[in-house]
Amino acid sequence: MSMSYDPNKLTWNETHTINEEHQYCYCGEDRNLTEVSVQCCQCLNWFHAKCIKASIDKTIPIFTNYRFICKFCNELEGENFKRSQAGWKEIGGCAIANLMLQQHMADHQALKGDSRYLSKNYKKLPPFNYYFNKNDHLRPFVDKNWSSLCTERSRTATWWATLGSCLYSTKDLFVAKDEHCRSASSNFCLVDPNLWNIRPGHFGTSHSRNQSRLHKESTKNNTRTVNESETQDDSSQSIVHASSSKRQITPLPSTEQGMTPPAPPMQSNPKNTVIALIEANSSNTEFGQSGEQNNLRHGFKYLPCQSDVFFPYMQYRNSELPPYGVRLSKEDASLSVWISGDQLTTTTEYGFSMARANCPVKEGNWFYEVFIDRGGEGKIDGKDGAHVRVGWARREGNRNSSVGSDAYSYGFRDLTGHKVHQSRLSRYGEPFKTGDVIGLYISLPPLNKGVPDYKPKCPKRHRIPILFKGDTIFEYKDFKPTNKMNDLLELPEKKKTKNFWWQQKQEEAKNSSTQPPPIIPKLPGSKIIVYKNGVCQGVAFEDLYSFFPMVDERTNEENLTEDDGSLGYYPAVSMFRGGTCTLNFGPYFRYPPQPDPEAERYMEYIAEDVLYDIIDEIELWDWMISKKKRPRPATDVSDSEIIKKIKLDDTDEGTPNIQ
């Protein structure tokens, strides 16, 4: 087979999307913006959809979520075209690009294939200057072209909100018409409105696993790009790190805006984004966002599980994913939180968002440390800097808020050293900032003392294995915040300045108000102490609220009322706009706490959740056993007894309850 031209003698533009000869494909014809053509990920040449064998959905001319190899680059197996799941930046970017093209065609009454959209006429094409709104334009467009734009992405109930936040936060790709008061509902245009620059990877990609930084050698003549990974790259669009194929990845900000940026000057503060952090950590840590499944249904939680032949009744068991041990939980974090590969470092580019450890504490004394990688910043250029709030939170605590924002958590504020509970600040300790190490100590009474009628029992688990994007995950009922606890936020001194999601409920409850504040059970003798760089700041909170679910007249029957193993206080951190911290769960602490050496036994406790699940991850057991410093207290039941007991329990009612 031969070509009508020599593809090695073409002069390409910097983005390798246009050549001066205007020859492309097997056929040597020009490209037209309004007609689908795809780029080969090896030779980077472009091929008309009509000239390749694979049938390509041509409903929208511009898309980047694919991988194509031309037949010259894959002589053995022939050409190959495959769509991949698009990330939100890609979805937003391509949607806007297509809308821009549509608008321009409509304005000029141009038809598909019009010669003004040929690459040889690209210089005569003025930059498109159209702005599109999420609700009026993007949402209907993406909705209509979901499969072409998103490929395989499941349509969550709030996908358009995610798209909105993505447009709002991705300042290197999207410019708002009202940039000075940019919001998710602004009208957006592409920072680079030259649609001829769009190619796979242009908006960041989400489909490849281990992309490595690519090096473009030359842009003239023989323009083979050194390309070891799945997508092509160039100097104006650099890298993406994926920590898992399931997670979102983000391109790093462009170091050079290769093409004409006609947009208003961008006030981008690269240091203020998570991206800078990812770059800084890219050598050894890959960051990933929390799982999309976290928000499938309100009032439920989702954990990974796997089919297991050794559990014929349960059929599925929880699958603990590495890294094993105490760490931050991706399954229990705000969607806007980023968590490092070792699941100890976390950050966000948005407002306060919370991440919690993967196991709670219920009784005894516990300690963990937080290294403030970035936090306690004052205003920078009139904008809020990066912040971190640390503390302890319960499962019901709002993940999309700061630690201490509700009655379910106790937190500490970096800038002032205030303690925060129920959104109320009180004077407490010294402020802390980048570089400080905050120690968080909690002491909880023995359960039989704190909760007189508490009988440790094996929790009943109501869970259903469901399929989510090809993975099996367990859906569990989760504990929901109760009215009584939310009412606490409505006490007189509380200023109603923010629109919390529970306000509506508060309004409802308010009608029956003029009641004394609700009585919430407490854990007598419990306390939280904070250390800053080893210096005790004193007792911050005492008699913490009991973490057992309250059953009152307003409790919905559907609510969970017994411990499923997830009740208790969790180490919790919340970050704000680039605030970053790293958690240390021991056994070696930078500043070990003095008052209670027992706190070092923290590690022993992590077995609990695992025990409940009868996980037989040998690695995990070995790891835990090796970490144990002393035998469990004599009062404890031995591991094997618990296992036996739970096993019976599970097999009794173990058949998955598929509804």
Interface residues toward Zn ion, by CB under 5 A: 25, 27, 40, 42-43, 48, 51, 70, 73
Least gap, CB of 26 to Zn ion (angstroms): 6
Least gap, CB of 54 to Zn ion (angstroms): 13
Q: Please compute, for residue 238, the number of CA atoms within 13 A of its CA located in the half-sphere on the CB side.
A: 14
Residue 559 structure tokens: 């609510």
Of residues 40 and 189, the one with the C-beta less far from Zn ion: 40
Least gap, CB of 76 to Zn ion (angstroms): 13
What b/e readout covers 191-220, taking b as 16+ CB neighbours within 10 angstroms?
Answer: bbbbbbbbbbbbbbbbbbeebeebebeeee
Of residues 73 and 464, the one with the C-beta less far from Zn ion: 73
Q: Which amino acid is at 323?
A: P
- The CA–CA distances, whole Å, from 589 to 358, 367, 369, 378, 584 equal 19, 9, 7, 28, 7
Least gap, CB of 28 to Zn ion (angstroms): 7
Write the DSSP symbol of residue 442: E
Of residues 200 and 364, the one with the C-beta less far from Zn ion: 200
Least gap, CB of 239 to Zn ion (angstroms): 22
- The CA–CA distances, whole Å, from 167 to 173, 187, 248, 344, 634 equal 8, 10, 15, 28, 57
Check if the beta carbon of residue 565 is closer than 8 Å to that of residue 608.
yes
Cis omega (within 30 of 0) for bond into 323 = yes
Phi, psi dihedrals of residue 657, rounded to the nearest 5°:
-95, 85
Q: How many CB atoms lie within 10 A of CB 512?
A: 8
Of residues 40 and 540, the one with the C-beta less far from Zn ion: 40
Of residues 233 and 478, the one with the C-beta less far from Zn ion: 233
Q: Which amino acid is at 659?
A: Q
Least gap, CB of 16 to Zn ion (angstroms): 12
Residue 170, phi-psi category: left (phi > 0), alpha (psi -120 to 50), beta (remainder): beta
Of residues 42 and 416, the one with the C-beta less far from Zn ion: 42
Residue 271 structure tokens: 């240091």
Of residues 68 and 160, the one with the C-beta less far from Zn ion: 68
Give the residues across from 463 on adjacent strands: 476
Least gap, CB of 342 to Zn ion (angstroms): 39
Of residues 27 and 110, the one with the C-beta less far from Zn ion: 27
Least gap, CB of 74 to Zn ion (angstroms): 8
Least gap, CB of 225 to Zn ion (angstroms): 11
d(CA 109, CA 102): 10
**Comparing C-alpha atoms, which of 454, 604, 442, 411 is closest to residue 525?**
442
Least gap, CB of 7 to Zn ion (angstroms): 8
Helices 88-107 + 159-169 axis angle, to 10? 80
Of residues 51 and 611, the one with the C-beta less far from Zn ion: 51
Of residues 20 and 430, the one with the C-beta less far from Zn ion: 20
